[in-house]
Structure 1
Amino acid sequence: MKKIVLKIVYSVFFISFLSCSAQSDIISTIKKNGNAPFSYAELSVKEGGKWEGNQYIGGRFRNVSEVQIPAEHTDHSTYIRYEGIGLENNQVGYRLYLDWRNATDIFGKKVNTLVLPEVGQDGFESYHHDAAWGQDILKSGRTIGIGSYGRYDEQNDYIETFKIVKSTTAKVINEKNSSYAAINYKGWKTWGDAVDLQSKLTIFNRDRFVKVDLSVSDPISGLATGIVAFNNIPVRLVVGKNNKWAYIATYGMQTLAQKEDNLGMVVFYPVDSFEKYVKTKSTHAIVFKKVKEVSYYFLGAWSQEFGGIHSESEFYDDLNKKLDQLDKDGKL
């Protein structure tokens, strides 16, 4: 497959602001209930500044309900707080980069209260360092991180992300027992014809997992998800007893924390949509059959998490219970 020089093309962008009172109500309701179970989705962009090339200069962050990504935006543009959509509950936080990388990252939490509204307010670097609440613990690099999605390029042996897209629109919704991000990629081109892809990432007010629903305008081969691969960290591939669901998982010292701690990562996927497992240079990848729709789950479990999982055996015990549930009920 021929290597292509890639360029992002976007149309005119829009922003749908949450009213200050509506956003404050969501956050204050969670905070005033103390340690009660919650879910939260967040999207925050700057206003009041200006674009200089690919950098957004000045301005202040404001939470929004929906945004179409502007043409100038790329990685490290400082336009979107912590660079993407945030999903959080009592146990863990995640972010999906809203740029060409389209990777999912993990915010490890040492507390069981809401933290995302304060993350990234003072720039990029602070949340990469140990803090009372926790920190960004996953180095995604040039991979899809944990549980994100792209298209497997078999000839070049890597996961292609979202380098050519006509427009990307993202929105966040907070409901009673779950919160989700919905992203609409128009004109996503990898090789051959462009397609539209819609994704929905839902976090619940319980456990660590996120449910991912993908829908493509036309069936494509090579649609893939996976987990960033680290040297000397083995991967497990396990199929459920009823052969309906399976998972790939890793566990070990694979975090950015400045101490010897452990992180477990997993993707649960439906067997009937599975084509093959591939280990690229940087990713343990699950490649799906030529599909139009597919749903799967991912989660990360950090050993420093408040009241969390602290050993490899605990981690895999938890995964196997979830796999049994999926194999039986088809959902978590």
Structure 2
Amino acid sequence: MKIIKIASVIILGCLVSCKAQEKQLTTTSKTYAEIAVKEGGKWEGRKYIGGTFKNVQKLKLAPEHTDHSFDIRYEGPGWESNKIGYRLYLDWRNAIDIFGKKTEAIVLPQVGQDGFDSYHEMSDWGADILKAGKGIGIGSIDRYLNNERLHFYEVDATVATVKNTTDKSIVKVDYTGWKTVSDKINFTSELTIKPDQRYTQHTIQASKAIEGICTGIVKQKNTELLKKVSSNKKWAYIATYGTQSLVPDKLGMAIFYETNTIENFVDAEFDHLLIFKPTTSKISFYFLGAWEQEKNGIQSQEEFVTYLNGKLEQLNAKNKL
């Protein structure tokens, strides 16, 4: 009996320690990434009924999963710094959305817990502030051919993993058998966020060099398109600024890219798109949002441009952020 009691105390101690470590991660860290899936319920067609959310390190999409299936908290993986948060629609849309934060605390563990769409309403921590609509969101991936974005309608398997360390948080998504037109490829997307930064570094790689792989910024009304190339011509940015958040209030969005990786810029119906040159090599670029209500947030287009130009100078000098 004494041995059993000792074992029970050890197990209980481990559970308490694990919970304490998780709590410490979300209360002391400046970055965080997560993905939460429901368990204990059941599929009824394309909807998941019942169940409770459980955070996991790795998730393979269920074959039934599509947009608004209710099986993944806030529809996909999320990642944040102490400045801003993002989420990826882990379905055919494959768009990236922005969580505007009014606090520098880690907030994602509480987002979407009290109602599937509650994060669209302004709260003490902030809210979902970007309407992606039919657009690409900010910094996500699609394929653009013949004046059409082709989306991720046909994928054999999609696996998302998350990782948190002391100096960064990472979301990685592996798409196996992504079919568009007559091409079927494997594709990897890795999203990394660091402390005290708004930007996400997005590193992508295709198994086959195909035309039309793209990223971009969703078009919104009341915005101005901004562009600039670095002094050494190796880096550039596209950006928008204006009253384009869902609040509505001021929001800036930008993508920094290596000029030699881009084949074309397209002013599409719903998006400002950057079309990558066909390659099987890894490509890295950076995207960011800057919301006026964040702590010590950027308050004007002039401030936003100054901030972007500073990042561009850093890329010009060091070739990385």
Question: Is the TM-score greater than 0.5?
Answer: yes
The answer to whether 1:310 aligns with 2:299 is yes
Please state how far the C-alpha of 1:118 moved relative to its aligned partner: 0.5
Structure-1-length-normalised TM-score: 0.89
Per-residue deviation, residues 220-273 of structure 1 (Å, max 9, x unmatched): 11110000001342211211111000000000011111x4x2000000000111
Map of 2:115 onto structure 1: 123
Report if aligned partners of 1:143, 1:159 keep a CA contact under 8 Å in 2.
no
Aligned ranges 1:46-85 → 2 under 5 Å: 46-85=38-77
Report matched runs for 1:296-307 at 5 Å.
296-307=285-296
1:114-138 Cα deviation digits (max 9, x unpaired): 1100000122221101111100000
Q: Which amino acid aligns with 1:55?
A: K
Taking the aligned partners of 2:196 and 2:286, their CA distance within structure 1 comes to: 14
SS at match of 1:234: strand
Q: Deviation at 1:58?
A: 0.4
Structure 2: runs of 5 or more not aligned: 1-13
CA distance in 2, matches of 1:248, 1:24: 42
Give the whole-Å Cα distance in 1 for the aligned partners of 2:148 and 2:101.
31
Q: How does 1:26-175 map to 2 (within 5 A)?
A: 27-33=22-28, 38-153=30-145, 155=146, 157-175=147-165
Q: Which of the residues 234, 239, 242 maps onto 1:244?
A: 234
Match of 2:243 in 1: 253
Instruction: Write out per-residue CA displacement over residues 24-65 of structure 1, whole angstroms, 9 at most, x where no aligned residue.
Output: 3454214543xxx61100000000000000000000000000
Q: Which structure has the larger Rg over C-alpha atoms?
A: 2
Task: Name the CA distance, whole Å, in 1 between partners of 2:73 and 2:198.
Answer: 22
Q: Deviation string for 1:132-183 (max 9, x for gaps)?
A: 1100000001222000011111x2x132221110010000000110000110
Unaligned runs of 5+ in 1: 1-18
Q: Distance in 1 between matches of 2:94 and 2:80?
A: 18
- How far apart, in 1, do the equivalents of 2:216 and 2:229 lie? 16
So what's the TM-score if we normalise by structure 2? 0.92
Which residue of structure 1 lines up, in the alignment, with residue 188 of structure 2? 198
| Pair 1:20–1:71, CA change in 2 (3 A) | farther
Partners of 1:262 and 1:32 lie apart in 2 by: 28
Question: CA–CA distance in 2 between the matches of 1:26 and 1:194?
Answer: 42
Q: Deviations over 1:178-235 (max 9, x none)?
A: 0001100000011122000011000111210000000111111111000000134221
Match of 1:189 in 2: 179
Assess if the C-alpha contact under 8 Å between 2:74 and 2:117 holds in 1: no
Separation in 2, partners of 1:304, 1:40: 20
Give the letter for the 1:101 counterpart.
R
Distance 1:129 1:294, change over 3 A: same
Q: Which of the pair is proportionally richer in helix?
A: 2
Cα offset for 1:291?
1.6
Give the counterpart of 1:24 among 15, 19, 41. Answer: 19
What is residue 279 of structure 1 aligned with on the other side?
A: 267
Seen in structure 2, the aligned counterparts of structure 1 residues 32 and 186 have a Cα distance that, compared at 3 Å, is closer
Q: RMSD in angstroms over aligned alpha carbons?
A: 1.5
CA contact (8 A) 1:239 1:247 kept: yes
CA contact (8 A) 1:159 1:224 kept: no
Secondary structure at 2:132 match in 1:
coil
Quote the Cα distance in structure 2 between the aligned partners of 1:151 and 1:321.
Answer: 31
Deviations 1:292-325 (A, max 9, x none): 2211000000000112211111111010010111
Aligned residue for 1:194, secondary structure, equals strand
Residues of 2 paired with 1:270 and 1:217: CA distance? 20
